[in-house]
Structure 1
Amino acid sequence: MTQQKKTDRLFQPFPGPADPAYTSEQIYVGRFETGLQQWPERQHPHRHAFFEVFWFREGGIKLFHDFASYEIGPQTLVFVSPGQIHTWVVSQDISGIVICFFEEAVALRIGQGNLRRDFPFFSTYKGPPLLQMTSRAQHLDFLSEAALDAFYQPGEKREELVTAYLTAALIEALRAYKASPSHRSVSAAAQLTRDFHLLAEEHYLDRKQVQDYANMLGVTANHLVQSVREITGTTPGHLLRDRLILEAKRLLIHTEDTIAEIAHVLSFSDPSVFGRWFKAQQGDSPGQFRASFHL
């Protein structure tokens, strides 16, 4: 078995079509509680190559999202981006709708074609991946049910109609996100920091120097460091290390890959180099860290 296949074991496939006549591989809509019955493996840690938006209208649920956990109540939107490891602890009375989609299904219809840029709640560094939407719950009930109905009803332009309802829901979420006191104004430093995070998410495995990101962003390294420190309280180099550590932890805990295979995936020249680096960051060797989660 190759390294790539072993690592990909964490990835769950895109859900099947609503019916044999509908072969879209870009977007899927379903009831959350029904999906858990169809795909019980999704109550175990997993990740996807696509985006997910969940609308929970009733009940309670606990989300484990990488190495954080969130208690989620009713009338809440939850966002999961590609690559994020997550799982659920579900109550009996949960009721919700999930929309799964690839970026190209919606990104070019609105904004600049980059979902993480256009909708910051999909970014991995912006805090809890959820929005309480009590004041707009009735409208989101309508949009989610309309998307579900459109997905299961045959007819022309079905995918376009589903995408239109999804787009409306994302715009509702964006308005709520920007209306919160902490996001009403975005400084130049905050915008640069967000752009850095977007690039880091894409290039953290092959670009590990702050100067590389400064060049891509068209600023000096000093300006990038000052801006990121102003917004986050830490440096771009530290954030790059944090992102690499996160991926290392994901692979150590959720795969059976050897330390050597993980070192290769993370672009380290030698397993011993990876081991020393990991221990310097975490205080434990990769093997010790893995063992602590398997006790």
Structure 2
Amino acid sequence: MTKQFNYKQFGNIDLAVYNTTTKSVYRIEDHIKVIFIPQNYGIKIDFQEFILPHDALLFVNPKVVVQPLNIDTSGAELIHFNRDFYCIEIHDQEVACDGILYNNVFEVPFIELDENQSVDIRNIIANIKSEMESHDASTEEMLRILLKLIIIKSTRIWKQQHQLAENEQYSDVQFLRKFSKLVEENYKTHHTVADYADMLAITPKSLSKKISLLSKDTPNDIIKNRIILESKRLLAHTALSVKEIAYSLNYEDDAYFVRFFTKNTGISPTSFRKLF
């Protein structure tokens, strides 16, 4: 079910039910998503498969392809919305679409929930479902409040799980978020650690040292992995040629791009595409 308020769109549906007809959630590719995943539910995020041992929330940016591994398993709830519905009004705040949950190139942004947290989130989702049946003048604002409540609670949980709940560590969270956002916005045109160090007004060595405190991956790994992910998406989901994909990622020499992709994935772009 989807509601539209002028240009603002918000929807909620069982992920398995949705996928029985569309095979994936790619039809709403331009929507931002929150997915509630029940314990032991199998799910595929782009090209990675997960079966989580606990109830969890997943925060998904536009263009990411999400598919349940077993469509007979119910209980996964998909909440989706466009930027006009939520992001414009509270732009660039910690709990907006520019917050850490949606700007995190370090890891797939799962928030694992304990029993009490899961009950809390399930209750909010139940309220969303109830509100979706309403035609009251305040429905739009109530849905936005409930969505924001999920994001606020999840941001708190993420910070606690990453031991970043103390005020003195706030700068670490903000730095991680800023670097993630820069990579997401610039990976197609900027490929080196020095590029991002310049944007952050620090030395490449300082950037590497800072990221090492927050991630097991180096800045170069993070940048490289984001380019590879986009390459895989374009190979699997578009008809662009390898040369066109290389050009779209700012590689003028497509032979160099082929070597780069093959070295980092163990398979050539053409062979990868044949898998799909």
- TM-score over 0.5 for the pair: yes
Asked if the contact 1:190–1:227 (Cα under 8 Å) also holds between the matched residues in 2, the reply is no
Alignment of 1:269 with 2:252, yes or no, is: yes
- Cα deviation for residue 178 of structure 1 reads 2.3
Go from structure 1 to structure 2 and tell me whether the alpha carbon gap of 1:128 and 1:106 turns closer, same or farther (over 3 Å shift).
Answer: closer
Q: Which residue of the other structure, out of 56, 70, 88, is the alignment partner of 2:68?
A: 88
Name the structure 2 match of 1:162. 143
Superposed CA deviations along residues 26-70 of structure 1, whole A, max 9, x for unmatched, are 322234344334x43227x7772221112346x752111123211
Aligned pairs (5 A) from 1:1-295: 17-18=2-3, 25-37=8-20, 39-42=21-24, 48-56=29-37, 60-72=40-52, 75-90=55-70, 92-107=72-87, 110=90, 112-113=92-93, 115=96, 117-120=98-101, 123-127=104-108, 129-180=110-161, 182-185=163-166, 186=169, 188=171, 191-291=174-274, 293=275
Go from structure 1 to structure 2 and tell me whether the alpha carbon gap of 1:25 and 1:228 turns closer, same or farther (over 3 Å shift).
Answer: same
Find the aligned partners of 1:96 and 1:132 in 2 and give their Cα distance.
14
User: How many equivalent residue pairs?
Assistant: 273
Find the aligned partners of 2:42 and 2:230 in 1 and give their Cα distance.
22
Q: Percent of aligned pairs with the same residue?
A: 21
Asked if the contact 1:17–1:23 (Cα under 8 Å) also holds between the matched residues in 2, the reply is no
Moved more, 197-206 or 262-271: 262-271
Where has structure 1 moved over 6 Å in runs of 4 or more? none
Asked if the contact 1:66–1:86 (Cα under 8 Å) also holds between the matched residues in 2, the reply is yes
Go from structure 1 to structure 2 and tell me whether the alpha carbon gap of 1:237 and 1:139 turns closer, same or farther (over 3 Å shift).
Answer: closer
Asked if the contact 2:111–2:158 (Cα under 8 Å) also holds between the matched residues in 1, the reply is no
Find the aligned partners of 2:170 and 2:242 in 1 and give their Cα distance.
42
- Cα deviation for residue 110 of structure 1 reads 5.0
SS at match of 2:23: helix
Find the aligned partners of 1:32 and 1:226 in 2 and give their Cα distance.
40
Asked if the contact 1:46–1:85 (Cα under 8 Å) also holds between the matched residues in 2, the reply is no
Find the aligned partners of 1:210 and 1:112 in 2 and give their Cα distance.
24
- Cα deviation for residue 290 of structure 1 reads 3.1
- Cα deviation for residue 154 of structure 1 reads 0.9
Go from structure 1 to structure 2 and tell me whether the alpha carbon gap of 1:103 and 1:126 turns closer, same or farther (over 3 Å shift).
Answer: farther
Go from structure 1 to structure 2 and tell me whether the alpha carbon gap of 1:141 and 1:286 turns closer, same or farther (over 3 Å shift).
Answer: closer
TM-score by length of 1: 0.77
Name the structure 2 match of 1:7. none
SS at match of 2:86: helix
Find the aligned partners of 2:52 and 2:216 in 1 and give their Cα distance.
28
TM-score by length of 2: 0.82
Find the aligned partners of 1:151 and 1:48 in 2 and give their Cα distance.
21
- Cα deviation for residue 156 of structure 1 reads 0.9
5+ residue gaps, structure 1: 1-15
Find the aligned partners of 2:216 and 2:268 in 1 and give their Cα distance.
27
Q: Which has the higher helix share?
A: 1
Find the aligned partners of 2:267 and 2:162 in 1 and give their Cα distance.
40
Asked if the contact 1:112–1:118 (Cα under 8 Å) also holds between the matched residues in 2, the reply is yes
SS at match of 1:214: helix
Superposed CA deviations along residues 128-151 of structure 1, whole A, max 9, x for unmatched, are 524224212333222112112222
- Cα deviation for residue 161 of structure 1 reads 1.2
Find the aligned partners of 1:289 and 1:251 in 2 and give their Cα distance.
11
Superposed CA deviations along residues 248-280 of structure 1, whole A, max 9, x for unmatched, are 122223333321221122222132232233234
For the aligned residues, what is the CA RMSD? 3.1
Superposed CA deviations along residues 201-236 of structure 1, whole A, max 9, x for unmatched, are 111002223333223223233311221234334432
